[in-house]
Amino acid sequence: MVFSTPIFVLLFLPLVLLFYYFRPLRMGNAVLIVFSLLFYAWGEPVAILVMLASIAANWLFGMLCVRKGVRKSGRGWLALSVVFNLGLLVGYKYTGFIVENLNALLGGAVIPVPSVVMPIGISFFTFQAMSYVIDVYRKVTPVNRSILDVALYISFFPQLIAGPIVRYHDINQQIQSRTHTPEKFTSGVLIFIMGMAKKALIANAMAKLCDRVYALPGGELSTALAWAGALAYMLQIYFDFSGYSDMAIGLGKMFGFEFKENFLYPYAESSMQDFWRR
């Protein structure tokens, strides 16, 4: 996980905080956009073009959805934005899968299977971009005429790679104006540390146990070991995502943002609906 690597904790994060808190007035969002794009380019330099295209297209779709207040026309632009975003997602994630299945249906390797390098975090920033256009169309929030604000919403590095997915209407006002206090910053640091501990100390340990169990030949896998592997995997998944969400929430607080709680004891729920909601 990027957030738990030494280079992020010891170099990138201190630099962002330094530039952010000693910036010229009203340049806070610009600083966060620049560092968010650098953060993304750090993992996948070429894919930054995909993100920039997504930002520009969805900002434009948002503007077109409310153009002259024509509801019917807005519905068409909304549909086009969904097609664009899902097409981007399917194109990068499932092109190889689709071609392989077509070849199987055609009885042989007829179509060359393309080698597609999938941009990191494309699922998360694509669904966030869709959230912006949908919120604008539904009039849940007003259209943002500043492409820089939309860029910050889509590219903000704390939740860029693995979420949590943040709805635009939840942080629209915070993009425009947010408060910074020593108490909020301290709280953010503590939440970030707690999330990193979940990931590094618990999730990683459970992953090693799980890998060892599932690496055993079938004849050596007893009922007790199978249950141990299943429980280890369950804990690995929970603390991995919960830890990442905590780190994202903590980082957000350091920059004045309040993200909603994620992974709020989902395993304690009694219904599938509440499980997914949490």
pLDDT in tens, 197-207: 999 899 999 99
pTM for the full predicted model: 0.81
Write a three-state SS string for 109-123. Answer: CCCCCCCCCCCCCHH
Given a cut of 60, whether residue 177 has pLDDT beyond it is: yes
pLDDT at 73 over 70: no
Task: Give percent above pLDDT 90 in the chain.
Answer: 33
Model confidence at 72: pLDDT above 90 = no
pLDDT at 152: 93
pLDDT above 60 (res 69): no
Q: What is the average pLDDT score of the chain?
A: 85
Q: Where are the beta strands (DSSP E) in the chain?
A: none
CA distance 165 to 131: 9
CA distance 64 to 75: 10
* pLDDT confidence tier of residue 10, bands split at 50, 70 and 90: confident
- Summarised one tens digit per residue, pLDDT across range 79-114 is 999 999 999 888 888 877 777 777 777 776 677 777
CB 65 within 8 A of CB 143: yes
Q: Would you say residue 167 has pLDDT above 90? A: no
Largest CA distance in the chain: 69
CB atoms within 10 A of CB 259: 21
Amino acid at 219: G
- The predicted-structure confidence for 228-277, as pLDDT tens digits, reads as follows 888 999 999 889 888 888 898 999 999 999 888 776 677 777 777 777 77
